[in-house]
Structure 1
Amino acid sequence: MIFKSKPQPDLGVVVLRDADRIAEALTAALAQASDAERPGLERAVALVAETERVSEAESRGRWVWERLAAAGYEGPADSVRAIKVLRQAEPSLTLAAAVRLSKDAVRLDAP
């Protein structure tokens, strides 16, 4: 008998990256900013540049921690209870997707 492995399930989470558009808008605003507005806009440009360097796995891990925290869960992200809480918070997630996402969260330090 030959067994084929199943394809990886869709995670059900899409990581959106609009940081480039936001950076362009902030840079344009900075070019026209008054002296009073300049420090805040400079800080905003730096924050956007920082988020551009975050990997998709890290973004997914943060997303998991946010969902768990919103549900009041404070334990390890890879526990059975965490997977259950995550799936209750996001009912569209399959069990396999929730497990994979929890692994991304475990790679991060808990918030």
Structure 2
Amino acid sequence: MTGITGLSRKNSFVLTIRDTDEAAAALRQALANASPEERPGLERAVALVESTAGATETRLRARWVRSRLAAAGFTGDVGSVAAVKALRQAEPRLSLLAAVQLQKEAVAHPE
């Protein structure tokens, strides 16, 4: 799970919260006790969780920005002023400073 906090206009920081370690451990435990029929799906789930667990906080914030822009219907250049505007419309509590910083991270880490 990824959560973004610190979105108030008085705060310009964004904290990434992840619990992928717990999810990966739970999946590995389920895999250890799985029937032969369940193993392929659980092996795939473990691989997916472990592949995203190594993502940096910056990359996760960049993904979050792109997902918020997509949810808002924004299809333009992520590096544009319009993208900052769309991001702030999608997340009204986001300060201008935080939105610009998040935009820079999204530009620096394209998918």
TM-score range, shorter chain: 0.7 to 0.9
TM-score normalised by structure 1 residue count: 0.85
- Structure 1 residue 67 corresponds to structure 2 residue 68: yes
Question: How far is 1:10 from its partner?
Answer: 2.5
Q: Which aligned runs of 4 or more in structure 1 are off by greater than 4 angstroms?
A: none
Q: 5 Å matches for 1:1-111?
A: 10-11=12-13, 13-109=14-110
Structure 1: gaps of 5 or more residues = 1-8
Structure with more of its chain in strand, by fraction: 2
- Provide the aligned length of Structure 1 versus Structure 2: 101
Post-superposition Cα deviations, 1:21-77, rounded to whole Å, max 9, x if no partner, equal: 001110110011010100110111111111111000000000000011111111111
Task: Specify the SS of the correspondent of 1:15.
Answer: strand
Equivalent residue letter for 2:36: D
Cα-Cα RMSD? 1.2
TM-score normalised by structure 2 residue count: 0.85
Is contact 1:78-1:99 (8 Å) kept? no
Tell me, in whole angstroms, the C-alpha distance in 2 between the residues paired with 1:58 and 1:52: 11
Equivalent residue letter for 1:88: Q
Structure 2: gaps of 5 or more residues = 1-10
